[in-house]
Amino acid sequence: MAAGSAQALSPADALTLAAGQGDERVETLNRLVTEADPRAVALIEALADGSVQVQGEQVLILAADGSATDAVTGAAVTPDGTGEDAVVNNRMRGALATALAGRALFGTDETAQREAARLIQRGNFDEPDAAQLPLIDKALQGTLHDAARADLQRARAAILLSSEDTAQRLAAAQALSGARDPSLKPVLERQLQAEQDPAAKAAIKAALSALDRSLMISSGLSQAFTGISLGSILLLAALGLAITYGLMGVINMAHGELIMIGAYATWLVQVFFRQHLPGAFDWYLLVAMPVAFATSALVGAAMERSVIRFLYGRPLETLLATWGISLVLMQAVRSLFGAQNVGVENPSWMSGSITLMGQLTLPWNRVLIIVFAALVLLGVALLIGKTRLGLFVRGVTQNRPIASCMGVNTARIDTWAFALGSGIAGLAGCALSQIGNVGPDLGQSYIVDSFMVVVLGGVGQLAGTVYAALGLGLLNKFIEGWAGAVLAKIAVLVFIIVFIQKRPQGIFAQKGRSAEA
């Protein structure tokens, strides 16, 4: 009974929480939230909802139907009309949100504990609040998962960094030396300006230096990841063009529309799964990949058999014809699906992100697209280098008359090769649908970049395409972080122009008869 009485909500605590001064209210709030008292929790939740009134010395919790109960006893009370609403300012509103979240620290759910600890840490990094120390100390005495405990310890250190006790400030600065959160930097800088003790000042400087090094490393890794991510997208977009243009010499201005067709095929498969197979929705992408490849490959084969095969050796006519085909394909998509963008949803296994080094966040969809690009590249390399079709494609590319004399049906090989390049463009569209909206103009964003990658890498060289795509992706992102997106694009274009002037054959020059032709 004594323990129950100690934990019970008292009238003084209820009145302080509802109508006290700022510091007193926050201190009472953080003390009550750690106690297993349902009446205290009910009052805190009612304050957060704005349904608390103070009637004389009595604190009332209002219900939706207009009835009221005494916050301390739980007895029904009839409001007499003299009550005033409890004032909840911005500071109190934030303290209530933190306190309610902090209740999860005393539960057993690991995810809830980590979210609550992260919220408390972020709040104290932005504005340290000593009134939260009782809540943090009591939580640290209980059973916490490692990540939640580490976050709370850093939050406690951020609060004690401005303590009047020099030893506490020194210990807090040393505890924060391993933190990697950029929001901690203003806290350390403010305390550095105010600190008078030499030892504590040196510890704060060391913590700042460690944080700066960590942020620099994380920033570099983040830029490298985004550069590789962009490079993998450019690789997927350019890989099909490396076959149709690099190996076959066809300037296909409709390549971007083949990417767009693959993206729309993915969207249609998603719609089918959502309507007819909702239980298997997470696996729609595995079906969409072969569908996107086949759809774009069929469109590419039809283009080659109906138009392009009559224009081999006439690059200007091929360029104009494929440009016209691109306009036809875009208008056909607008007529069938509308001019508005359509959204393609990520499967659950592609959603979310992975966090490294405390603040380096890598989205799963980007990570998996990088892996997908590597697998597609490996498949194309094996197909071109190790299969009968690849042998025929290389033979026709290097010396068409001799290949024909050896019995190779060159017209059929042209169709197969063009269909292969178009199908790879469809796979690129499937991947692009996972990181953005799908619309009729999707391919226009990648056609110029695709040609730049193929020409920079060396016409007909898959290895050069890989180096060029990843190199341009990394170069673009690192310059973008320094000079902005527009200047980065200009710098990349200038670099390509200068490089091609100095080395017209690209990174890798062609070898064999095709280079001599």
Mean pLDDT of 244-272: 88
Please give the domain boundaries of the chain with CATH numbers for all domains: 2-88 (no CATH), 93-196 (no CATH), 217-516 (1.10.3470)
Q: Is the dihedral of CA 199, 200, 202, 203 positive or negative?
A: positive
Q: What is the pLDDT of residues 34-65, one digit of tens each?
A: 776 888 888 888 888 888 888 888 888 888 88
- What is the average pLDDT across 157-168? 86
Instruction: Name the token pair of 351.
Output: 């959603």
More confident residue, 400 or 347: 347
pLDDT digit string, tens, across residues 428-479 = 999 989 888 899 988 888 888 888 888 887 766 677 788 888 888 888 888 8
Answer yes or no: are the C-beta atoms of 259 and 442 closer than 8 Å.
Answer: yes
Over the stretch 214-227, which tens digit does the pLDDT of each residue have? Answer: 888 888 888 888 88
pLDDT-derived band of residue 99, with 50, 70 and 90 as boundaries?
A: confident
Strand ranges inside 351-445, DSSP E:
353-356, 360-363
Average pLDDT over residues 191-197: 84
Indicate the burial class of 386 (C-beta count within 10 angstroms; 0-12, 13-18, 19 or more).
exposed
* pLDDT of 325 higher than 60: yes
- What average pLDDT does the structure give for the chain? 83
pLDDT of 491 higher than 90? no
What is the C-alpha separation between 122 and 114, in angstroms, rounded?
A: 12
Give, rounded to a whole angstrom, the gap between the first and last alpha carbons of the chain. Answer: 99
Which pLDDT belongs to residue 516?
42
Q: What is the pLDDT of residues 64-91, one digit of tens each?
A: 887 889 888 888 888 887 888 888 888 8
Residue type, 140: L
Supply the pLDDT for residue 511: 53
Q: What is the per-residue pLDDT for 284?
A: 92
d(Cα 517, Cα 512) in Å, to the nearest integer?
9
With cut-offs at 50, 70 and 90, classify the pLDDT of residue 3: very low
Q: At 167, list the tokens.
A: 């030893």
The upper half-sphere exposure of residue 303, i.e. CA atoms within 13 Å in the direction of its Cβ, equals 33
What whole-number distance in Å separates Cα of residue 17 and Cα of residue 24?
8
Q: How many percent of the chain have pLDDT more than 90?
A: 14
Quote the pLDDT of residue 114. Answer: 85
The residue-averaged pLDDT of 304-308 equals: 90
Least confident of 120-124, 150-154, 338-342: 120-124
